A and B are shown apart, each in its own frame.
Chain A
Amino acid sequence: MTVLLDIHNVSKAFDQLAALDNVSLQIHTNEFFAILGPSGSGKTTLLRALAGFESLDSGQIVLDGQDVADVPPNERPVNLMFQSYALFPHMTVFDNVAYGLRREKRPQGEIAERVTSLLATVGLGDMATRRTHQLSGGQKQRVALARAIVKRPKILLLDEPLSALDRKVREDMQLELKRLQHEVGITFVVVTHDQEEAMSMADRIAVMDQGRVEQVATPVELYKNPGNPFVANFIGTSTLLRGHLSSGRLHLTNGVKVPCSLPSVDGAEIWLMLRPEDISQTPAGAITGTVISTNFYGPNCLVVAECGLEIPVKYLVGNSEVPRVGDATKISWAGDTGVVVRAS
């Protein structure tokens, strides 16, 4: 795999508040890459820096072997799909999509051909003469997408691409974005706060928090082996128990001991991450507690129970054994389940 974009030690502060703190990332050719983080994590600043709208305090952005840190946005071979779509309201759908090609002074015939075929690809073949205010949210997004890829940029940046859409349209667009990325063969970099969106679309994900990259990995790897407690907590649902290991048990800070036979350095402070599916509700369970809430999904149900382990425990039960809030419960997990997470 060749590195297309090398973000090297990039830092940026606003009023002495670090938005990007020594960020380094490598994005490969034809990858669908997601930058995931809560609001204020610096992900949007990073995206705007890639597009050229934010200058860097330090570091390099090397695109295809060229340092673009000082290249203005209109000269970068990168296009951005804005969160608000930013369609030009005084132009038709066709003129919106043709905007970038016209600035390249392409021949009329080529422009018409490329715009028309791309509009057909995104399913808007019969909308070319419409004004943008006559379109639905999903259609606007397709126009914005077509406008951003018509110039065949080396990288397409997408800022929260699905956040403005209804749930049903979102699911369709997720598939559509994947399909389109394969079809046009452009590297996609998506910024999102929605982990479901990132997990379902991206080949690799960078998790950001407070201006730093916490972990870069595939969705499966992030879920199975979070690199630190922030990622463990942010990705998916989990119960994170803090303590130290000693002779096959985890000693919590409140003195309670729970099973954990995973290999780790004895005595060092660790977090034991248990996914809801790791814990079972069983009459033979050694840990007792009280159900404080239930969340029914259909095939199964997420139960939150207070078991005296410093934080409530979250676990799954089948739909035939859903407890009621206030019920006493018994749970257990095998000593070799879960993942040991260390502070980074």
Chain B
Amino acid sequence: MTGVGKLGWVLAAVCFFLYAPIAIVIVMSFNASKIPFQWTGFSTRWYSELFANASVLEGLRNSLIVGVSTMILSVVLGVLLAIGITRHSTSSAVQALALAPAIIPDLALAIGLLALFSAISVPLGLTTVILSHTIFCMAFVAAIARGRILQIDPALEEAALDLGDTPRGVFFRVTVPSLMPAIIAGALLSFTLSFDEFVITFFTNGPSTPTLPIVIYSMVRFGVTPEINALASLVLLFSVAIVLISQRSVKLSQSI
């Protein structure tokens, strides 16, 4: 009993440190006062100011461009990578190398990419950010897709071929639909990873195209304003929505 009681306290502490900051951010985003932690009344003023802020909107636009591009590239390359390492290789070294970008520290990857881009004189901008995000997001997609490929019956593709379909037709009519749960989960995961990625973006981006996390960072340097609380609350809402959608779609397609 006492053991459970002590663990209960640990759980309560973990929950407190996990959810209290989030709750504070959300509550404060509706605070009418400009002074933090001094509640003067409910207001949606900071949300309307946010949408009038040109640099926030510019950051949001850039983040969406990077997020969507990264999502598309990562899904295509990650699924192909997963098929390659599970079907056409028995080497565990190849598998480890393919999935490594997902666990390499961001900082190491960021510095390495920056060095590479300057060595081959590629101008920094959204293109370099997209390429850099794709490298690690692709590894996440590959890890998810690999799990799915190992589950599906290899006879499915043979059956389609046996029924007269071409190898390309088999890929689009049987392989891709069979991998759909992994493709949806991988797409949403790479979008969310890319959307709020900071370290790699900071190193590989040019000065004229800040993404949303970088805009927020430069705003926070002058103190946390209620406007930032509003922005953080919106980003949170958006991310939670995407996670819920992905869980739902995976559950749906697993029941099929």
Contact = CB atoms under 8 A, between A and B. Distances in A.
Contacts of A148: 162-163
A167 interface: no
A90 interface: yes
B164 A103 contact: yes
22 contacts: A72-B161, A73-B161, A74-B163, A74-B164, A78-B162, A79-B163, A80-B159, A80-B162, A82-B159, A84-B153, A86-B153, A86-B155, A86-B156, A86-B158, A88-B174, A90-B178, A90-B180, A99-B160, A103-B163, A103-B164, A104-B164, A148-B162
Nearest to B165: A103
Contact of A74 (B153, B166, B177, B178): B166
Contact of A53 (B158, B163, B169, B178): B158
B256 A133 contact: yes
Contacts of A53: 158
B163 A89 contact: no
Given A89-B178, A90-B178, A82 B155 contact: yes
Q: Which of B161, B167, B180 has the most CB of A within 10 A?
A: B161
A207 B107 CA distance: 65
Contacts of A99: 160, 163, 165
Given A51-B162, A74-B164, A82-B159, A90 B256 contact: yes
A80 B162 CA distance: 7
B163 to A, nearest CB: 4
Interface string B145-181: 0000000010110111111111101000010011010
A100 B164 contact: yes
A133 B153 CA distance: 14
Given A53-B158, A82-B159, A99-B163, 15 more contacts: A51-B162, A73-B162, A74-B162, A74-B167, A79-B162, A80-B162, A86-B153, A88-B174, A89-B256, A99-B160, A100-B163, A100-B164, A103-B164, A131-B256, A148-B163
Interface in A117-149: 131, 133, 147-148
Interface of A: 51-53, 72-75, 78-80, 82-84, 86, 88-90, 99-100, 103-104, 131, 133, 147-148, 151
Contact of B161 (A74, A83, A88, A90): A74
Q: Indicate the member of B153, B160, B162, B169 with the most A CB atoms within 10 Å.
A: B162
Interface in B109-138: none
B164 to A, nearest CB: 4
B169 A103 contact: yes
Interface of B: 153, 155-156, 158-167, 169, 174, 177-178, 180, 256
A148 B177 CA distance: 21
A133 B253 CA distance: 12
A154 to B, nearest CB: 13
A330 B256 CA distance: 63
Nearest to B164: A103
Contacts of A100: 163-164
Nearest to B180: A90
Contacts of A80: 158-159, 162
Contacts of B158: 53, 73, 80, 82, 86
A148 B166 CA distance: 17
A79 B161 CA distance: 10
Given A103-B169, A131-B256, A88 B160 contact: yes
User: 9 closest Cβ contacts across the A-B interface?
Assistant: A100-B163, A86-B155, A86-B159, A103-B164, A90-B177, A82-B155, A103-B165, A80-B162, A73-B161
A52 B155 CA distance: 13
A80 B157 CA distance: 12
A186 to B, nearest CB: 15
Contacts of A78: 162
Contacts of A86: 153, 155-156, 158-159
Contacts of B180: 90
Nearest to A51: B162
A82 to B, nearest CB: 5
A99 B159 CA distance: 10
A302 B124 CA distance: 85
Contacts of A83: 155
Nearest to A100: B163
Contacts of B163: 74, 79, 99-100, 103, 147-148, 151
Contacts of B160: 88, 99
A257 B34 CA distance: 112
Contacts of B178: 89-90
Contacts of A73: 158, 161-162
Contacts of B166: 74
A178 B158 CA distance: 26
Contacts of B156: 86, 88
A131 B256 CA distance: 8
Nearest to A97: B163
A99 B163 CA distance: 7
Nearest to A91: B177
A96 to B, nearest CB: 9
Nearest to B174: A88
B252 to A, nearest CB: 12
